[in-house]
């Protein structure tokens, strides 16, 4: 696990630069999750480190494979400014620990719901997991292991999350694109959902 996380840490630094802050959270029954903060102009990026230490396994499998299975880390990008987005560190760690704690497989198109704002005053309590590969390239591991994928998180308002459950992730992303939604705006309202 430690070797994988060292490689992931190096990949994040190569893609995003040196983190200017990091915090660690440990939940009962789960491995330690770190959240690294990277500043890039007027955008702050938060990336988890620890989720990929073990592969995600289907909870229906009787025996969890300690080597094979999808591996991922989460990346959230928001604009700096009026919102106290640094309070997202613990919620991100909660989301990153969900494969170990709840036995879920986090993959593109999935919704992850916290049941509370991502940070104080945030209009979002859930995120849409987007396709990887844009910001941080997949990290290939030894041949028996799946690559580590760096999954972008797109904050969703409660109305957007409900609409996504009915119409699907692709339809919501198309609506955001059509309306020119700034998904990095930490205070944005819900996109038009008619």
User: DSSP per residue over 101-115, as a string?
Assistant: HH-PPP-TT-EEE-S
The residue extents of the domains of the chain are 2-178
Strand blocks (E) in 80-147: 111-113, 126-129
Average pLDDT (95-123) is: 92
Closest by CA position to 156, among listed 185, 120, 194: 185
The residue behind tokens 């020119």 is 180
111 touches 126 (CB < 8 A) = yes
26: confidence class by pLDDT, cuts 50, 70, 90: confident
pTM score of the predicted model: 0.94
pLDDT 10s digits, 45-55: 999 999 999 99
Check pLDDT > 90 for residue 103. no
Question: When comparing pLDDT for 1 and 30, which is higher?
Answer: 30
153 touches 128 (CB < 8 A) = yes
């Amino acid at each position: 696990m430690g070797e994988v996380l060292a490689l992931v840490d190096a990949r994040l630094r190569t893609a995003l630069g040196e983190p200017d802050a990091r915090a660690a959270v440990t939940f009962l029954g789960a491995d330690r999750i770190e959240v690294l903060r990277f500043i890039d102009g007027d955008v702050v990026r938060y990336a988890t480190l620890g989720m990929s230490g073990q592969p995600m396994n289907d909870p229906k499998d009787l025996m969890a494979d300690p080597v094979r299975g999808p591996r991922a880390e989460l990346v959230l990008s928001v604009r700096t400014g009026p919102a106290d987005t640094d309070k997202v560190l613990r919620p991100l760690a909660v989301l990153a620990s969900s494969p170990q704690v709840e036995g879920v497989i986090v993959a593109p198109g999935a919704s992850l719901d916290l049941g509370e704002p991502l940070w104080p005053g945030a209009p979002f309590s859930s995120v849409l997991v987007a396709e990887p590969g844009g910001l941080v390239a997949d990290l290939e591991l030894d041949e028996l292991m799946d690559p580590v994928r760096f999954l972008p998180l797109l904050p969703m308002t409660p109305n957007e999350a409900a609409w996504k459950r009915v119409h699907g992730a692709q339809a919501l992303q198309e609506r955001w694109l059509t309306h020119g939604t700034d998904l990095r705006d930490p205070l944005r309202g819900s996109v038009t959902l008619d």
